[in-house]
Chain A
Amino acid sequence: MNIWTIMIIGGLLTFATRLSFIFLLDRIKLPDWFRRGLRFVPVAVLSAIILPDLTSPTGTLFLNWRNPQLLAGIVAILVAWKTKNVILTILAGIATLVVFQVMLGI
């Protein structure tokens, strides 16, 4: 699928979601588990993207202290937890990545 097809269908899906109840009014009631489940969506999707990015930066599992992405990710998680600051988290992660890449001669 080309990027434009993805964008247009993705845009229509998003628009349809936003329009859904405005258009249907109260004809459909959302089940309770659905409402509660939505809270976990971003956390679950993003974690499922993050972890493989850190542990398998080249596509194969690399659980090792010689993996700079993994170390930088751990530092970023700690910084995000302590500061809740997006910019600081990114800067700390990038700095750690660069330092370890240089130290490991990558």
Chain B
Amino acid sequence: MIAKIRNQEFWSGVRDEAPILLGVVPFGLLFGALAISAHLSSLAAQAMSSIIFAGSAQFIAAQLVGTGTSGLVILMVVFVVNLRHALYSASVAPHIRPLGTGWKLLLSYLLTDEAYAVTITHYNREGDSPYRHWYFLGAGLTLWSAWQASTAVGIFIGAQIPANWPLSFVLPLTFIALVVPALKDRAGVAAALVAGLVGLLAANFPYKTGLLAAALIGIVTGLLVEGRQK
């Protein structure tokens, strides 16, 4: 009986995560190909997908490694970009409180944007099955497998692309495709414009520290503009 409920939870997690893969797989392919064009080895590119396992941070890290940014700056940017996961962590924490340490470590590793979105919806539905962490596991593992596989295929494709193709320019274009639709209000636009401008003015700061300054000033600008609108 228990095994049956666990199974049901696991597979409904897999099923609910599946449609999201349509949006994830192209990014995995793209990451694999771009990491190769940024001169990462195949092994390093694949390892980044399993060790960091966070799309936007991986794209940024690959781009920065390719431009010779200092390691410390890359780490700080990765940390800041991934800080949103602390929110997800806080939000699922009460639900997985009774679980053992092993489960908590495993589910934390699998706590990506896409797994969180599906899982928290499931937790917020009525019903209080004590096996809903199996749903979390199903969703998380589905996303994980798709990310690893699409990275691998992307690495393979990237290795076939001639070196004189303007592939490195795909990275800023990908970032544009991510940022522009996310600009929904004046505060967001202000954050983007100010960060971009400071990034430009501070582009020659040593070790690309200008990037950190630009991001921080952009975030503060967003907060100030948002505060004013209220």
Contacts and interface: CB of A to CB of B under 8 A. Distances in A.
A76 B176 contact: yes
A22 interface: yes
B172 A53 contact: yes
A17 B76 CA distance: 13
A10 B78 CA distance: 7
B177 A90 contact: yes
Nearest to A87: B26
Contacts, number: 248
Contacts of A23: 104, 108
Main secondary structure of the interface of A (DSSP, over half): helix
Interface string B108-145: 11010000000000000000000000000000000000
A90 B174 contact: yes
B36 interface: no
How many B residues are at the interface, by size bracket? 35 or more
Contact of B71 (A6, A35, A47, A98): A6
Contacts of A85: 177
B180 A81 contact: yes
Interface residues of A, number: 67
Contact of A45 (B77, B94, B226): B77
B107 interface: yes
Interface string B50-67: 011110110011010100
Contact of A42 (B75, B92, B176, B178): B178
Interface stretch (B5-13, B154-162, B182-190): B182-190
B84 A41 contact: yes
B105 interface: yes
A6 B61 CA distance: 9
B224 to A, nearest CB: 11
Contacts of A3: 40, 44, 65
Contacts of A77: 176, 180
Contacts of B74: 1, 6, 10
A48 B3 CA distance: 50
Interface of A: 1-11, 13-15, 17-26, 30, 33, 35-56, 61, 69, 72-73, 76-77, 80-81, 84-87, 89-90, 93-94, 97-98, 101
